[in-house]
Chain A
Amino acid sequence: MVISSAPMRISFAGGGTDFPEFYTKYPGRVISTAIDKFIFIVINHAPYTNHVAARYSLCEDVSHPSELKNTRIREALLDLGIEANIEIGSFAPIPARTGLGSSSSFSVALMKGLYAYIGERLDKREVAEAACRLEIDLVKEPIGKQDQYAAAFGGFNVLQFNADGSVDVEPVLLDYKKRMDLENHLILFFLGTMRDASSVLAEQKANTERNFEILKRMSDSVPVFKEALLRADFESAGKMLLEGWMMKKQLASAISNPAIDTLYEIAMSRGAWGGKVLGAGGAGCLMMLSPVSRRAAVVDALMGGAKAEGFENACEIPVGFVQVGAEIVINSNGR
């Protein structure tokens, strides 16, 4: 049995610049951190069954991987030539489609685990690239590359997407005081509704040319945001999130909606500095930076506002940053 894991992520700035339509013309940049919410993938060799089982939010039991509904598991197994005698399960603390990059964390953990299962080891870069290939080339998701690299590498990084398709991973070297201080200023608020990133991203991808100048400004904001964090100037960082959010809303029609705008306004009126909807947008998680002294008031107001908007399952998700990336937790098939 192999158990692998990969963290989810929070991205602060530059989302949308990780599409080839953009980074082949101008360097794309994203600043993000891995968080202490992990996807675990369990892969079991079942030699005395002839089946292929996939257990996630659904339970699938089929005789050949091509019959699987789960596109990522299906394409990965077909690509690796694994045709039978395998059971794959996934486990996570948070539902999918919340904007925390979980679908790419899933792919990263899956590829890390499947390669270990066939006796090969992928380093961080190799597993990021394997997950990108799986999601973008094989499954043909209209997504970029930031989440796969964030999950594979772990830690707090600036990712740069170069015209030749390569990705530079530059760590943001925050000491523990700044890191914990930023955690204290950060509110992650789960709206309790999920969304499928694909439709928002497909529109955003199609709009790349129209949005080119906005995307350029978003990419250029990344080093500035990084400098603010290194100075522990979270007020400036928060205000940059507000500017970034105003830009991001112009990228595609479904990134925000009246309910999200209302909650954002509520958080700002209670003293938050700024924030954004994580992931493709439309739903999922609202992240705000706020003075520590205003934090409780912002969360209370968001809870009240969310209930009024009918988000019954809305809640704050406590979050910490982690260095750890994609890992093999257990490999009982030997070393």
Chain B
Amino acid sequence: MERYIQEFSQKAISLLRNLPRVEIAKAMNILQAAYERDARIYVAGNGGSLSLATHWVADFNKTVFSHHLDTPQRRFQAIRVPTTEEELTAWANDVGFDMVFAGPLRNYLQDSDVLIAISSSGKSENIIRAVELARSQTVPVIGISGFDGGRLNLLSDAKILIPTTPGEYELVESVHAIVLHIFTKYFREYFDHVFFSRKSPEAAYVAPVSSTVDRIFAAL
């Protein structure tokens, strides 16, 4: 049994060593741009990926800003789609499961928004439909996939593929959770850095900019 556990952890370690760092960095730039233009970031996934999406939404909307929640500061607007079970079941029952993301998303999605699509196989038809809708509006897509990446990886602007043999859901979803936590930690530390260097200019010099940084903390 220990050996079984060891084998799983070795595979996970190997995947983590080879994380697609450039693509993850590109994704973080897409999120940075979304913040700058006050855009919405929609997240979609099925099953375990839906759970990852929902977890990340809570982290990104709240945990990122945890150290200065009382500051009147622009925050991220991450939104899981669909936002209600009622929409999900209505689309699934009345139209088909392929439309559970693209159907509701069409109500909200604006050209300046961002879509994060999570699918271990990269082949989930409902995810691909949502990605195609986003692309038709030139909305940037962060694709988080596993196995061979499927069409999701091909269609994405930031192609975060965790390559495994098909069917390795546990490994892929575990590493996806880590990728999403990298996003959260990076932006939490970024806003902490901005916040604390603004609060005590002698601690870390920040140029007298009326720039992005000042727009973030206009009230300080």
- A-to-B contact residues, CB < 8 Å: 36, 116, 121-124, 154-155, 171, 173, 175-177, 180, 183-184, 186, 292, 295, 318-325, 327-329, 331, 335
7 pairs, A vs B, C-beta closer than 8 Å: A171-B29, A173-B26, A180-B197, A318-B207, A320-B209, A335-B111, A335-B137
| Interchain nearest-CB distance for B140 vs A (Å) | 9
> What is the interface of chain B mostly: helix, strand, loop, or mixed?
helix
Asked if B212 contacts A320 (CB within 8 A), the reply is yes
Asked if B208 is at the interface (CB within 8 A of a chain A CB), the reply is yes
Interface residues on B, range: 20 to 34
Contact of B22 among A116, A173, A184, A329 (CB under 8 A): A173
Contact of A121 among B111, B194, B205, B212 (CB under 8 A): B111
What residue of chain B has the Cβ atom nearest to residue A322's Cβ?
A: B36
Contact of B206 among A184, A323, A335 (CB under 8 A): A184
| Interchain nearest-CB distance for A102 vs B (Å) | 17
Given that A173-B25, A335-B110 are contacting pairs, would A325 and B33 also be in contact in the complex, using a CB cutoff of 8 Å? Answer: yes
Asked if A323 contacts B36 (CB within 8 A), the reply is yes
What residue of chain B has the Cβ atom nearest to residue A121's Cβ?
A: B138
Which chain B positions have C-beta within 8 A of A325? 33
| Interchain nearest-CB distance for A293 vs B (Å) | 8
Asked if A327 contacts B37 (CB within 8 A), the reply is yes
Asked if A184 contacts B205 (CB within 8 A), the reply is yes
Which chain A positions have C-beta within 8 A of B136? 121
- In the bound complex, how far is the Cα of B149 from the Cα of A152, in angstroms? 29
- In the bound complex, how far is the Cα of B110 from the Cα of A335, in angstroms? 7
Asked if B212 contacts A36 (CB within 8 A), the reply is yes
Asked if B90 is at the interface (CB within 8 A of a chain A CB), the reply is no
- In the bound complex, how far is the Cα of B186 from the Cα of A295, in angstroms? 29
Asked if B111 contacts A318 (CB within 8 A), the reply is no
- In the bound complex, how far is the Cα of B138 from the Cα of A335, in angstroms? 12
- In the bound complex, how far is the Cα of B210 from the Cα of A292, in angstroms? 17
Contact of A328 among B25, B29, B111, B190 (CB under 8 A): B111
Asked if A320 contacts B112 (CB within 8 A), the reply is no
Asked if A121 contacts B112 (CB within 8 A), the reply is no
Which chain A positions have C-beta within 8 A of B66? none
Looking at A183, A319, A320, A321, the one whose CB has the most chain B CB atoms below 10 A away is A320
| Interchain nearest-CB distance for A304 vs B (Å) | 18
Asked if A176 contacts B193 (CB within 8 A), the reply is yes
- In the bound complex, how far is the Cα of B216 from the Cα of A36, in angstroms? 12
Which chain B positions have C-beta within 8 A of A328? 111-112
Which chain B positions have C-beta within 8 A of A322? 33, 36, 212
Which chain B positions have C-beta within 8 A of A121? 111, 136-138
| Interchain nearest-CB distance for A131 vs B (Å) | 15
Which chain B positions have C-beta within 8 A of A176? 186, 189-190, 193
Contact of A180 among B206, B210, B215 (CB under 8 A): B206
